[in-house]
Amino acid sequence: MFFNLRGMRHAFRLSVILFLMLGSGQVAASSWFGAGRCGIVVAARQSLGEVRIYINENGWSDDARVFASDNGWYAIVVAQVPDNVADSVLDRQKRQGRIPPDAYCSEGDAYRREVPLMADGRSVAPADPTALWADFDSRPLSRTERRMLQAALAMQGDYVGLLDGVWGSGSQAALERYTARQHGAEPVNAHAAQLVRDTLWQWDADGWEPMDIGWLGISMLLPQEGLYLHEEDDGVQTWRHRDDMLTIMFADFPGAGMASLHADLMGERGQIAEPYTVRNSDMWITSLRFAGHASYLRSDLIAGTWSTTAIFAQDRHANAMALVTSSIKRGGADPIFPPRGGVLDRNADALAAISRSESADDHPSEDVHEDDRPNRVAVARPERQPPPDDQRPQPTEARSTGTGFFVSEDGVALTNAHVIDGCRFVHLGGQAAEVIAQSSAFDLAAVRVSEASEMTPLPFATGNAGLNADLTVAGYPLHGLLGGLNITRGAVSSLRGLGGDETTLQISAPVQPGNSGGPAVDRFGHVVGVVVAKLDTVALAEASGDIAQNINFVIRGSVATAFLSAHDIGYARAPADAEPLSPEDAARRLQDATRLIECF
């Protein structure tokens, strides 16, 4: 797998034919479009609240510009292209799924002015304190913020449903139940901000984080601070919480075994309420209540077997159980924590300011905390190990490949997040591997194998690579076409990536699809970068008639070590007395540490 303009947002960031749009001052529309250029319009909405929702839900927050039209609507523009190539660019981007099928290119004649937006897709205007006491309105919230609010209501026992970020009648009724009980009033915006702030404080104490159960292909929210692996037997993992909050079991079953498990649970005596059951072709759920405790069993048909989660909790932890069950989903975890500077965060800031400057009797906010945000840095996850290989469904043919390299003696390797994104299983060098950390923001991921023999981890350089510094890149490009590990050499062409990105370096060493996640080392064999992207030369040729050569990008080594440290993952460090390596010795060192990653 190679990060060749993956996803709509990254597609436009990495393609030079779609010019970067830095800054967004309030200017006349005509001054931005200019002669001989048009802007790619992906959507139009009637209100700024709808604009913000669309931008956040579709990942355009870094690229979108918004223009007020003569008809009162707001046009969302994501890139600018020359008129003479607009048709070919639109056709290509639509075919590749990077823009909607109805996107078009506008010269801006009907646009009166540009509406300034900040990086997260919201208006630059600060929260209006008077709006805090207006009736609650979910429309300005991003989908992530709405998911967080649903989770907070589930934690209170008021919301039963999926954490999907869709604010329907069930979500609204849950908020109304909460505010009626807690405040004796209909919900206002202040209530939502306060609830989320208080929930984050509670989550911070218990270490609630989204968790990918990679070997089952599912994810959920879990209180990871107190979880530990209690038992693993015959491919079934049993996890417990140190405060007896929850007991959770994970397993993979064939159809007969799954059905038998649900039948056994349904036959348990002592039920005090009607069971809740779902029996679909690809999902079974059995939820039962007993005197003093509850049981929940869910099985999802994934890759031919049933990924099964069983949860047991005493009544006093029913709300925590409700939060976990609401958050279970197929695939990787979705964002849940509200963005810094988002609508909920700004409303909470405004509440804190009011609490400091006015009497608590003036507004229903006497329990507002000071403006100290809960610490949402990564919480160390409990030690986890995948079940034995013979207890897992065996993959057949990899759907994509990439590269990883060992960074520690205990079998931890580093790669790109996009290499392992959406994988049902991950293999590193032919061994089953577990994803132990992942960051889409850095596009980095760490995987671990249980046995890592005949390998030497690559140490990270203590400093950054300088301009024109020599470097060597290793990887498995075009796997199945080329024969095994490839080593290429080049230099640091620029100390910044595309558009002045300071987290990446531009390099001249050749890379191809499959190199993603591979190491870039200096002349001492120390890691100075992680291969992440190459320029789309086809797109450039279409726009300019030129074919770019060897314009590739690596994530800085210092960014990679920050990612590892944030997840409490140790890594090898370069010794102070290292000597330069010959090209042959550098290749041998890279061969010892670099492995093929296969995504199933």
CATH label of the domain that carries residue 228: 3.40.1000.10
User: What CATH number did the domain enclosing 492 receive?
Assistant: 2.40.10.120
Does 378 fall in a domain? no
Model confidence band, residue 247 (pLDDT cutoffs 50, 70, 90): very high
d(CA 503, CA 82): 29
What secondary structure letter does DSSP report for 124? S
- 201 and 219 part of one domain: no
pLDDT, averaged across the chain: 79
- 21 and 94 part of one domain: yes
pLDDT tens sequence across 118-177: 444 444 344 454 478 888 988 888 888 999 999 999 999 999 888 988 898 889 999 999
Structure confidence at residue 448 (pLDDT): 92
Residue percentage of the chain with pLDDT more than 70:
81
Residue percentage of the chain with pLDDT more than 90:
33
Model confidence band, residue 9 (pLDDT cutoffs 50, 70, 90): very low
Residue whose token pair is 């992440």? 532
d(CA 244, CA 302): 30
Residue whose token pair is 């034995």? 388
- 267 and 287 part of one domain: yes
Structure confidence at residue 117 (pLDDT): 64
More confident residue, 351 or 43: 43
Residue whose token pair is 């190679």? 2
Question: What is the three-class DSSP state of 213?
Answer: strand
Concatenate the DSSP letters of all residues of 456-487 into one string.
-PPPBPSSPPPTT-EEEEEE-TTBTTB-S-EE
Domain boundary among 70, 91, 115: 115
Question: What is the three-class DSSP state of 522?
Answer: coil
Task: Look at the chain and count its residues.
Answer: 600
- 44 and 133 part of one domain: no
Cα→Cα distances 570→11, 333, 385, 414, 440, Å: 33, 24, 17, 11, 20
Lookup: tokens for 442: 């850095």
Domain count along the chain: 4
Lookup: tokens for 417: 């997040």
Highest mean pLDDT among 1-5, 175-179, 223-227, 503-507: 175-179
Amino acid (one-letter) located at 321: M
Does 147 fall in a domain? yes
State CA 61 to chain mean position distance. Answer: 14
Model confidence band, residue 389 (pLDDT cutoffs 50, 70, 90): very low
Lookup: tokens for 368: 């507002």
Does 369 fall in a domain? no
d(CA 125, CA 45): 19
The conformational region for residue 23 under phi > 0 = left, psi -120 to 50 = alpha, else beta, is: left
Using DSSP bridges, classify how beta strands 74-82 and 65-69 pair: parallel, antiparallel or unpaired. antiparallel
Cα→Cα distances 38→79, 83, 92, 108, 429, Å: 9, 6, 16, 7, 47
Q: What is the pTM of this model?
A: 0.45
pLDDT tens sequence across 392-433: 444 456 778 899 999 999 899 999 999 998 787 889 998 888
d(CA 298, CA 283): 7
Does 377 fall in a domain? no
d(CA 376, CA 441): 15
Structure confidence at residue 133 (pLDDT): 83
pLDDT tens sequence across 499-551: 777 888 999 998 888 899 999 999 999 999 999 887 654 544 455 555 556 78
Does 380 fall in a domain? no
Domain boundary among 115, 138, 157: 115
Q: Are 76 and 44 in contact (CB under 8 A)?
A: yes
Q: Is the pLDDT of residue 179 over 70?
A: yes
| Element containing residue 56 per DSSP (H, E) | helix 48-57
d(CA 198, CA 195): 5
d(CA 191, CA 178): 9
- 229 and 293 part of one domain: yes
State CA 44 to chain mean position distance. Answer: 26
Name 216's Cβ contacts closer than 8 Å, sequence gap at least 6: 250, 252, 302, 307, 308, 309
State the CB neighbour count (10 A cutoff) for residue 8.
Answer: 20
Mean per-residue pLDDT, 320-340? 88
- 41 and 161 part of one domain: no
Q: Are 175 and 149 in contact (CB under 8 A)?
A: yes
Q: Are 474 and 518 in contact (CB under 8 A)?
A: yes
Lookup: tokens for 563: 């990612």
Closest by CA to 297, choosing from 313, 289, 281, 286, is 286
- 316 and 345 part of one domain: no
Does 374 fall in a domain? no
Domain boundary among 321, 344, 362: 362
- 183 and 248 part of one domain: no
Lookup: tokens for 282: 């690809």
- 154 and 300 part of one domain: no
d(CA 250, CA 240): 12
Does 351 fall in a domain? yes
Structure confidence at residue 34 (pLDDT): 66
| Domain limits for position 323 | 210-330
- 445 and 311 part of one domain: no
- 139 and 110 part of one domain: no
Q: Is the dihedral of CA 576, 579, 584, 588 positive or negative?
A: negative
Does 107 fall in a domain? yes
pLDDT tens sequence across 258-291: 888 899 889 888 899 999 999 998 899 999 999 9
More confident residue, 41 or 354: 41
Concatenate the DSSP letters of all residues of 298-321 into one string.
EEEEETTEEEEEEEEEEGGGHHHH
- CA triple 578-583-584, angle to 5 deg: 105
| Element containing residue 240 per DSSP (H, E) | strand 236-241
Amino acid (one-letter) located at 345: D
More confident residue, 356 or 58: 58
- 289 and 356 part of one domain: no
Lookup: tokens for 486: 């490839």
d(CA 184, CA 190): 14
